[in-house]
Structure 1
């Protein structure tokens, strides 16, 4: 037979467990929504970058080639170090 104190402790633990589960579920939903929003923004930036690169290749092909070479040089230097 459980005493009143044990029953109270059991109920308190049960309530706290429910609250923790609710907090975890809420946090998971928030993280999921933030990830969806970030993915949408990355897609938009990728589209803008493609458009800018295509325009640059058509209007200034040599400048674009030099910029690509410089980016490669920087990435190579960072990779080596």
Structure 2
């Protein structure tokens, strides 16, 4: 797979988890709100598989954000 695909998939994973945790949602709650199986949310947050645009939109809506925001790569501040 291409480097760009891997990078976007990793950004999506980090952004979904960051936003979900910030909203105080469990994976199960996000899955229910997005009409997606909980194990699929886990796979997304672990950068496994190929996520469709429809799924990105469903998750974005459940996280009260724009789908494009979930694909933006944000540099983590040093710890």
TM-score band, normalised by shorter chain: 0.3 to 0.5
Greater RCO, 1 or 2 (C-alpha within 8 Å, sep 6+): 2
> Which structure has the highest helix share of the two?
1
Q: TM-score, normalised by structure 2?
A: 0.33
